Amino acid sequence: MTYSDGMPVLEARLPTGRYDMIIETGVLERAGELVRQVAPHEQALLVVDSAVVNTAGVVVGAALESAGYRAVTVPLDASERFKTIDTVERVYGVMLEARLERGSPVIALGGGLVGDVAGFVAATYLRGVPVIQVPTTLLAMVDASIGGKTGVNHALPHGGLGKNLIGAFWQPRRIIADPVTLRTLSERDLRCGLAECVKHGVIADPSLLQFIAGSAEAIAARDEAVLAELIARSAQIKITIIEQDEREDANRALLNLGHTFAHAIEPIETLDLRHGEAVAIGLCAAMHCAVSTGSMSSGDAETVTSLLQRLGLPTRLPSSVAAAPLVARMRYDKKVRDGQLRLVLPCGIGTAKIVETDEPVIVDALHGIGAAP
């Protein structure tokens, strides 16, 4: 990590190229020149989350214009229902109408949903145009904007929506994160981002957990200096992991700690959980497995669980949820190999590993976090 005017600048060095992540209070006002440095052109497409179209959207639109871009703006509603190929096609239509060219950058301004859709548009329009990720949720700043995964949902053959089934790896030219944008984020969405920060701490950095515990009030009050440090420390963990494994052939899967459980829990409609909330519960289930298989002490698991609770995140399931259907859903996880479930489990606080895990251990963990037999 380096610093510019006291603010952190991170760098991702990947086999397919390098890019930086600038984290700075008020940086959106300079977004135009920062885009121009990495993707100079006359035109640009600004894909903007409807929630920030009248705030950050105005700032970035003006910054692009003063840097000499003719920018076309497309607002998108951040709903998983609209994270589809239909939306992507609609954006292609706008781009063709405006005659955007191979060099015209796409600026993805919003949460992870807008980042994924705009990133996929950029990956595929004219076989690929530059994308600059400008995340406006904590989750997108510490996770979704980093690493080049882009994509949309698709209907499953027998009903329901399959998440992120269609997509591409397409790394951004730059990531620009302005903590000011988090002022308007709902408390619930802030908590969801914090769940991913806690996950990063458990995977790789015990001191990040101490930082979060010591800064919980300042984070809730949206103290921008504290948020900048939180974003930088948490994002750095993701960057370090993707630098070792850009395409999730090996260690990138460690970022899925808690997610095998979370993906099974999240679709339960009666629980009405956001992804980050399901991750918090999934993290607790993974820690149960780790305690029962001897890779984590119950004291460490208790420390992390208490932190999640203090942040206002759920850590248990209601007894109306049964373990067996959850395990059946977990069998669809992409880490399953030859029918054997493989989970990311913590080894104490600060490292994690992928472990073949027997079903009774998983069932026991689900009971441990409240699921009915």
Ligand X SMILES: NC(=O)c1ccc[n+]([C@@H]2O[C@H](COP(=O)([O-])OP(=O)(O)OC[C@H]3O[C@@H](n4cnc5c(N)ncnc54)[C@H](O)[C@@H]3O)[C@@H](O)[C@H]2O)c1
Residue positions annotated with a catalytic role: 127, 149, 196, 238, 248, 252, 256, 259, 263, 275
**Least distance CB 234 / ligand X (angstroms):** 13
Is 178 a residue that touches ligand X (CB under 6 A)? no
Cβ atoms of residues 233 and 141 within 8 Å:
no
Separation CA 254–CA 234 (nearest Å): 14
Which is nearer to ligand X, 147 or 346 (by Cβ)? Answer: 147
Matching residue, tokens 């910054």:
63
Q: What residues numbered 84-143 form the site for ligand X, per CB under 6 A?
A: 110-114, 116, 136-137, 139-140, 143
| DSSP code for 156 | -
Matching residue, tokens 């921008």:
224
Pattern of binders to ligand X over 224-263, x per CB under 6 A? ----------------------------------------
**Least distance CB 208 / ligand X (angstroms):** 18
Cβ atoms of residues 78 and 49 within 8 Å:
yes
Cβ contacts of 211 within 8 Å, gap of 6 or more: 229, 230, 233
Pattern of binders to ligand X over 28-57, x per CB under 6 A? ---------------------x-xx-----
Is 280 a residue that touches ligand X (CB under 6 A)? no
Degrees, nearest 5: CA angle 326-329-331: 115
Is 144 a residue that touches ligand X (CB under 6 A)? yes
Which is nearer to ligand X, 8 or 111 (by Cβ)? Answer: 111
Task: Single out the residue of 23, 31, 78, 190 in contact with ligand X (rule: CB under 6 A).
Answer: 78
Total residues at interface with ligand X (CB under 6 A): 27
Separation CA 342–CA 330 (nearest Å): 10
Separation CA 104–CA 130 (nearest Å): 7
C-alpha distances out from residue 73 to 50, 198, 277, 357, Å: 11, 35, 32, 48
Binding site for ligand X (CB under 6 A): 49, 51-52, 78, 83, 110-114, 116, 136-137, 139-140, 143-144, 147, 149, 163-164, 181, 184-185, 189, 192, 275
